[in-house]
Amino acid sequence: MDEDLCFDLEAMARRIDGQTKIIFITNPNNPTGTFLPAAAIRRFMQKVPKDKIIVLDNAYQEYIDNPDDYVTGLDEIQAGKNVIVLRTFSKVYGLAGLRVGYAMAKPEIISLLNRVKPPFNVTRIGQRAALASLENDNYKNRSALLNRTNKAKLLGQLQNLGLRVIPSQTNFLLFFPGVNVAELNLRLLKEGVIIRPTAGFGIPDGMRVTVGLEEDNEFFIKKLKKVLPGK
């Protein structure tokens, strides 16, 4: 990661060696929310030797600001490259409880994945719901728009508290409360707020809050002000 908490693709490219088999890029990324523009990904892909596999985890694809500046990976798959694209119905489609997602890649790679994939790993209800979601752009667009509006407001509220917040193209915000995160988290839990300290992701002083409905966000900000010393 660079200092803006974006993937440092130059540094990643330099680390590739004979031992490297597979490279994961999550775009936009969790838990930072940061985004890699198309030119940066394309430049990186040119540097990666052809025999390596690049996985693009596009879980948050539907939330990005500018689809024209996004590498979905589909063109690269069509061109026969060693690229795997991951998508999920857990985010903008709101189906996390049904556990549905999928991978796209060229047939040789899918055949390898099929050898290790457990059979019947997606339920029939999950499949039906996923297909119905794909036919309902209206829901997806409303969900993404609501997220965008509420995220902008939440970002402003956190910044008004004087906190560093990372600009996000996902449905969550990574912020730095400037106090001991484990203690703050306990206090928030006691107030009925569950957000995610990011120590487990290697960001010990950060917290990730998911953008909710307006009343959820207001509740969170109210409780955060209550438990944050001096706010």
Ligand X SMILES: Cc1ncc(COP(=O)(O)O)c(C=O)c1O
Measured CA to CA in angstroms, residue 178 lies from 158, 190, 207, 231 at distances of: 12, 20, 10, 12
Question: What are the residue ranges of helices labelled H in the chain?
Answer: 9-15, 38-47, 74-78, 107-116, 124-134, 137-160, 181-190, 214-227
Q: Which of residues 105-144 bind ligand X (CB under 6 A)?
A: none
Please name the residues in contact with 132: beta carbons below 8 A apart, sequence gap of 6 or more: none
Angle in degrees, 0-180, between the axes of helices 214-227 and 137-160, rounded to the nearest 10: 20
Total interface residues for ligand X by CB under 6 A: 8
Nearer to ligand X, 54 or 59 (CB): 59
Q: Check binding of 198 to ligand X (CB under 6 A).
A: no
Which sign, positive or negative, has the C-alpha torsion 97, 141, 36, 130? Answer: positive
- Chosen residue from 9, 59, 83, 173 binding ligand X by CB under 6 A: 59
- Chosen residue from 32, 33, 34, 57 binding ligand X by CB under 6 A: 57
**Omega before 31 within 30 of 0, i.e. cis:** yes
Q: Check binding of 147 to ligand X (CB under 6 A).
A: no
Nearest distance from residue 224's CB to ligand X, in Å?
22
Instruction: Provide the pairing of β-strand 164-165 with 172-176.
Output: antiparallel
Nearer to ligand X, 132 or 186 (CB): 132
Nearest distance from residue 34's CB to ligand X, in Å?
12
What x-and-dash track marks residues 2-41 binding ligand X by CB under 6 A? ------------------------x---x-----------
Q: Check binding of 61 to ligand X (CB under 6 A).
A: no
Nearest distance from residue 225's CB to ligand X, in Å?
28
Q: Which of residues 63-102 bind ligand X (CB under 6 A)?
A: 88, 90, 96, 101
Measured CA to CA in angstroms, residue 169 lies from 4, 155, 187 at distances of: 14, 12, 28
Kindly list the residues in this chain that would bind ligand X in the complex (CB under 6 A): 26, 30, 57, 59, 88, 90, 96, 101
